Amino acid sequence: MASFTKRGNTWQYAISRTIDGKQKPIRKGGFRTKKEAQEAALQMEFDLKNGVLDPQKDYPIEKYFLEWFKTYKRDISDITLNSYKATHTKLLNYFGDKAIQSITKREYQQFLNDMGEQFAKTTNRKMNGFIRTCIREAIDEGLIKTDFTRNVTITGAASKKSSEKFLDYDASQLLLKYLHANIDNGLEYTMLIVALTSGLRYGELVGLSIEDINFKESTVKIHRQWRYKEYGGFGPLKNESSERTIGLDKTTMNVLKKQVLKVSNHPQNENRLVFYTSDSPIQVITNDRLNDVLRASIKKLKIKPIITVHGLRHTHASVLLYQDISVLYVSERLGHASIDITTSTYAHLLKELRERDSSKTASIFEDLLTYSG
């Protein structure tokens, strides 16, 4: 029998249970409403009744992880869901049907070490975060007693330095001029121009529809993205802050106007995509193809570093910051969930700008002293 308690702004359920003559209730909190807690408790009682979560039986870790994220991770983007699925695949391939109850901390650390030889450290850190949250749930449900993910060591290849992810101001200028000069050589060049001048994520870029562009106000509305990893169709953005309307320069708007004229009456463009192409199974130029054209352009110009299409988003932000645009506005324009993400992502650049601002500040007060009116 379950009981329900409100704790602050969330609800918690508690299901009475006896194991080996001792009371070992199952508690789970964090539900937004009592109804959500009741539904979760009902599912838990059903699982207990059918032996799904019997602590006396072996329970494969991959099976538990799969059912856990399917139950608790419903309100997430497709991209995040794919990350959970990838984590599940790694658990399945490494542990097979090994029971969650029999995995030791040393075995789990060896799993992380093996992943460290194959994937980047940031990828492994995210994966471990998923698994650790799942393991805490298993402890709450009484399947295991100890957290074998606690205080583990994450290994893997180092991520690129922040300075290697974007082009500087001069290189950005060269690239933009080159893209405009080659705009008639393929749709990719038009897309790269818009990516650089808007800072859109790839999914947001290819998810633009004709109705999202306001030529009168020179703005673009970002309210959904294209499910390019699921072979097309519109999907939700990465987070609530990602929904935004941004202004674009007139030159870019003219580029968009010419593109819209090309696709607006295409009989197969049912979704009225701005960057529709009939040559692709996902109806738009793939991310890999855009990366190939971008890398070739950068090599042609003999500038560094060689960046990806996502690097154009970082480049867009760095150009704005270099031109003294506020971090707050840059954060809002990029659709970051918080300004902390912006400051941490561009910490290296912001440090350089602070040093420049320090000298500028000193001269301001010197000028103030000598100001004659």
pLDDT tens string 236-254: 888 888 999 999 999 999 9
Do 211 and 91 belong together in one domain? no
Q: Which class for 20: exposed (0-12), middle (13-18), buried (19 or more C-beta within 10 A)?
A: exposed
Residue 297 belongs to a domain? yes
Q: Residue 128 and residue 122: Cα distance in Å, rounded?
A: 10
How confident is residue 178, by pLDDT bands cut at 50, 70 and 90?
Answer: very high
Do 42 and 95 belong together in one domain? no
Per-residue pLDDT at 363 exceeds 70: yes
Q: For position 160, what pLDDT does the model report?
A: 62
Per-residue pLDDT at 32 exceeds 60: yes
Do 75 and 202 belong together in one domain? no
Do 127 and 192 belong together in one domain? no
Q: For position 37, what pLDDT does the model report?
A: 82
10 Å Cβ neighbour count for 28? Answer: 19
Note the pLDDT tens digit of each residue in 310-331: 999 999 999 999 898 999 999 9
Query: Phi-psi category of 213—alpha, beta or left, where left has phi over 0 and alpha has psi -120 to 50?
Result: beta
Per-residue pLDDT at 47 exceeds 80: no
Asked whether 209 and 231 are in contact (CB, 8 A), the reply is: no
Do 199 and 336 belong together in one domain? yes
Mean pLDDT along residues 131-137? 93
Residue 359 belongs to a domain? no
Q: Residue 46 and residue 4: Cα distance in Å, rounded?
A: 17
Nearest Cα residue to 128 out of 147, 144, 152:
152
Q: Which domain holds residue 65?
A: 53-159
Residue 371 belongs to a domain? no
Q: Does residue 305 have a cis bond before it (omega within 30 degrees)?
A: yes
Per-residue pLDDT at 349 exceeds 70: yes
Do 24 and 39 belong together in one domain? yes
Nearest Cα residue to 29 out of 18, 17, 44:
44
Q: How many domains is the chain built from?
A: 3
Residue 197 belongs to a domain? yes
The residue behind tokens 């749709």 is 187
Q: For position 46, what pLDDT does the model report?
A: 72
Do 98 and 200 belong together in one domain? no
- What CATH number did the domain enclosing 145 receive? 1.10.150.130
Per-residue pLDDT at 256 exceeds 60: yes
Residue 354 belongs to a domain? no
What CA dihedral angle connects 77, 342, 156 and 291, to 10 degrees? 70
DSSP annotation of 141: T
Residue 330 belongs to a domain? yes
Phi and psi angles of residue 244, each rounded to the nearest 5 degrees, phi first: -160, 165
Return the ∠ at Cα 334 (arms to 270 and 222), rounded to 5°: 25
Q: For position 2, what pLDDT does the model report?
A: 81
Do 168 and 100 belong together in one domain? no
Mean pLDDT value across the chain: 88
Per-residue pLDDT at 125 exceeds 80: yes
Q: Which two tokens stand for residue 229?
A: 């990893």
Q: For position 290, what pLDDT does the model report?
A: 96
Q: Residue 14 and residue 4: Cα distance in Å, rounded?
A: 6
Return the ∠ at Cα 359 (arms to 357 and 365), rounded to 5°: 100
Q: For position 306, what pLDDT does the model report?
A: 93
Note the pLDDT tens digit of each residue in 277-313: 998 889 999 999 999 999 999 999 999 999 999 999 9
Q: For position 284, what pLDDT does the model report?
A: 95
Is 0.85 topped by the overall pTM? Answer: no
Q: Which two tokens stand for residue 205?
A: 């870029």
Q: How many residues are listed for the chain in this entry?
A: 373
Q: Which of 112, 138, 159 is the last residue of a domain?
A: 159
Q: Please give the single-letter amino acid code of residue 151.
A: N
Candidate from 18-32, 166-180, 248-262 with smallest mean pLDDT = 18-32
Do 152 and 214 belong together in one domain? no
Mean pLDDT along residues 112-125? 91
- What CATH number did the domain enclosing 242 receive? 1.10.443.10
Q: What strand order describes the sheet that includes 10-15? A: 2-7, 10-15, 26-31
How confident is residue 29, by pLDDT bands cut at 50, 70 and 90?
Answer: confident
Per-residue pLDDT at 233 exceeds 80: yes
Q: Residue 122 and residue 108: Cα distance in Å, rounded?
A: 18
Residue 286 belongs to a domain? yes
**Residue 222, H or E segment:** strand 219-222
Q: Which two tokens stand for residue 166?
A: 């974007």
Do 168 and 272 belong together in one domain? yes
Mean pLDDT along residues 157-185? 86
Do 334 and 207 belong together in one domain? yes
Q: For position 167, what pLDDT does the model report?
A: 93
Under DSSP, is residue 364 helix (H, G, I), strand (E, B) or coil?
Answer: helix
How confident is residue 353, by pLDDT bands cut at 50, 70 and 90?
Answer: confident
Asked whether 273 and 209 are in contact (CB, 8 A), the reply is: yes
The residue behind tokens 């194991």 is 19
Mean pLDDT along residues 59-75? 89
Return the ∠ at Cα 208 (arms to 206 and 211), rounded to 5°: 155
Q: For position 372, what pLDDT does the model report?
A: 67
Residue 271 belongs to a domain? yes
Q: For position 199, what pLDDT does the model report?
A: 96
Q: Residue 362 and residue 178: Cα distance in Å, rounded?
A: 39
Do 211 and 266 belong together in one domain? yes
10 Å Cβ neighbour count for 270? Answer: 9
